[in-house]
Amino acid sequence: MTLLDLSASDLSRLIAARQIKPSEIMTEHLSRVAERNGAVNAIVSAPTPDLLMAAAKQADEEKPQGWLHGIPLAVKDLVAVKGLRTTYGSPIFANNIAPADDIVAKRMRRAGAIFTGKTNSPEWGHGSHSFNPVFGATRNPYDISRSAGGSSGGAAAALACRMVPVADGSDMMGSLRNPAAFCNIYGFRPTWGLVPSDALGDTHMATLSTEGPMARTVEDIARFLEVLAGENPQAPFPRPSQPFGDSLTMDLRGKKIGWLADWGGAYPCEPGILELCETALGVFRDQGAEVETLSAPFPAQELWKAWLTLRAFLNAGAKRALYEDPKSRDQLKPETQWEIEQGLGLSAAAVYEASVIRSRWYARAARLFETYDALIMPSAQVWPFPVDWRWPQEINGQTMDTYHRWMEIVVPVSLIGLPSLALPAGFGSTGLPMGFQLFGPSGSDARILAMGQQYHLATDWPNRQPPQFKF
């Protein structure tokens, strides 16, 4: 085992005990970036190695002030990091140097992280395949002819390649969960509001997207969440942080888990995905949990209708100025233009109806959680697909009518802001990874992480690769 194989939590403990230096960690990670990043294209806009080594050597001499002290961290390119090129995957911002940190970057910096660059994402985070006209596509470490997912695909690929020990991501429509499944790592979408947004634009109605942690261990997820979480006095609906990393012990005996599979056939899944996830459910059964197969608890088409409406409404509001300027409109990807156009055509009645559907589903889910401690579905409906596709056009012969319909299985969680941990489920017959999402009621983040920790201790999939895969 090398330094690259250690978790961020282990590295943090070793640094605090003065048993290892940040410069030693940086040396190993820079070597891995030089070795692997050219093939996968996960980390972009990186400072020079000399600058990074200088920052690490300075950290050698300083007393650790936070969990990330001296740890290399590349930040998703949808997050502004002061002094680093921050493009949002858009040619409009191809040369943008961020003048200030976004709130989550500020918290990472305060915890001692050394920023080694940005992680690639699709333009504006639209779509679960990380390609854009600025940097190109991120490739899957398990098969570089395949997608790493998105929109946190660069983060997931960098983690799988051991180019970073922990990573941040964001999730509106599965962007923490889908790439985690594609790259055999963990991703956590926290309860909406636990990780606050910046006080920019609308902060009252924009309650679909959230930042969150990605890692190769659940402990790293929990401890990084402590860094990211906590109230922003300038943003509404505050939620206090908790000591998530010290709350991971749980006895699963007597816990009840509902298996929702493909939502009664509403969410088609490519062959082998459901079977692999069902096998993974056996880990919970072996530890004493009761797993019960459930029928679809709410009409999928109503959820999709509400999702399309609210997503388009928010995209149109946030990006209308770019759309109305002919110069910038021509540089927006077609999918983003479509989102904005859908939103601009909405009536107030349509938005209200979507919000009512969302409210009804929240209430129905709350009743489910009176019986079940957690629910489970696959994290993705397709295996990692060819990197030169824009998106999967069909699943099992069923045409996908939008650029994101193929990942509809994440909508029940995203629509109502539930905490959801993407867990690796293992590998399919071709050696490609897949995963499932374990989710619970609003505010149950600690419970979901503790349940996930028991699964991780029994499996540790991120350190178990198929025979043909070599780091």
Token pair belonging to 78: 């949808």
Structural domain containing residue 51: 3-463
How far is 457 from 438, CA to CA, in rounded Å?
Answer: 16
Asked whether residue 468 is assigned to any structural domain, the reply reads no
- Closest residue by Cα to residue 206 from 451, 417, 427: 417
Mean pLDDT, rounded, for 287-303: 98
User: Structural domain tally of the chain?
Assistant: 1
Cα torsion 192, 114, 134, 138 to 10°: value is: -70
**pLDDT score of 465 more than 80:** no
Contact 446, 244 (CB under 8 A): yes
Contact 98, 308 (CB under 8 A): no
Q: What are the pLDDT digits (tens) for 167-193? A: 999 999 999 999 999 999 999 999 999
pLDDT band at 1 (very low <50, low <70, confident <90, very high): confident
Asked whether residue 471 is assigned to any structural domain, the reply reads no
Indicate the average pLDDT of the chain.
97
- Closest residue by Cα to residue 222 from 467, 447, 462, 461: 447
Catalogue the long-range contacts made by 399-404 (C-beta closer than 8 Å, 24 or more residues apart): 402/308, 403/126, 403/127, 403/335, 403/338, 404/126, 404/127, 404/128, 404/173
pLDDT band at 124 (very low <50, low <70, confident <90, very high): very high
Asked whether residue 414 is assigned to any structural domain, the reply reads yes
Query: Could you give the C-alpha distances from 32 to 72, 167, 466, in angstroms and in order?
Result: 12, 16, 20
**pLDDT score of 469 more than 90:** no
Which class for 186: exposed (0-12), middle (13-18), buried (19 or more C-beta within 10 A)? buried
Contact 158, 181 (CB under 8 A): no
Q: What percent of the chain has pLDDT over 70?
A: 99
pLDDT number for residue 464: 86
Asked whether residue 13 is assigned to any structural domain, the reply reads yes
Contact 166, 443 (CB under 8 A): no
Mean pLDDT, rounded, for 202-228: 98
Asked whether residue 331 is assigned to any structural domain, the reply reads yes
Q: What are the pLDDT digits (tens) for 342-377? A: 999 999 999 999 999 999 999 999 999 999 999 999
Contact 197, 230 (CB under 8 A): no
Asked whether residue 15 is assigned to any structural domain, the reply reads yes
Asked whether residue 469 is assigned to any structural domain, the reply reads no
CB-based contacts of 298: which residues, under 8 Å, 6+ apart?
A: 360, 361, 364, 365, 412
Asked whether residue 470 is assigned to any structural domain, the reply reads no
**pLDDT score of 380 more than 60:** yes
CATH of the domain at 299: 3.90.1300.10
Instruction: Check: pTM over 0.95? Answer yes or no.
Output: yes
How far is 421 from 250, CA to CA, in rounded Å?
Answer: 16
How far is 432 from 438, CA to CA, in rounded Å?
Answer: 20
Identity at 27, one-letter amino acid code: T
**pLDDT score of 471 more than 60:** no
Q: What are the pLDDT digits (tens) for 420-464? A: 999 999 999 999 999 999 999 999 999 999 999 999 999 999 998
HEC sequence for the chain: CCHHHCCHHHHHHHHHCCCCCHHHHHHHHHHHHHHHHHHHCCEECCCCHHHHHHHHHHHHHCCCCCCCCCCEEEEECCCCCCCCECCCCCHHHCCCECCCCCHHHHHHHHCCCEEEEEECCCHHHCCCCCEECCCEECEECCEEEEECCCCCHHHHHHHHCCCCCEEEEEECCCCCHHHHHHHCCEEEECCCCCCCCCCCCCCCCCCCCEEEEEECCHHHHHHHHHHHCCCCCCCCCCCCCCCHHHCCCCCCCCCEEEECCCCCCCCCCCCCHHHHHHHHHHHHHHCCCEEEECCCCCCHHHHHHHHHHHHHHHHHHHHHHHHHCHHHHCCCCHHHHHHHHHHHCCCHHHHHHHHHHHHHHHHHHHHHCCCCCEEEEECCCCCCCECCCCCCCEECCEECCCCCHHHHHHHHHHHCCCCEEEEEEEECCCCCEEEEEEECCCCCHHHHHHHHHHHHHHHCHHHCCCCCCCC
Provide the residue count of the chain.
471
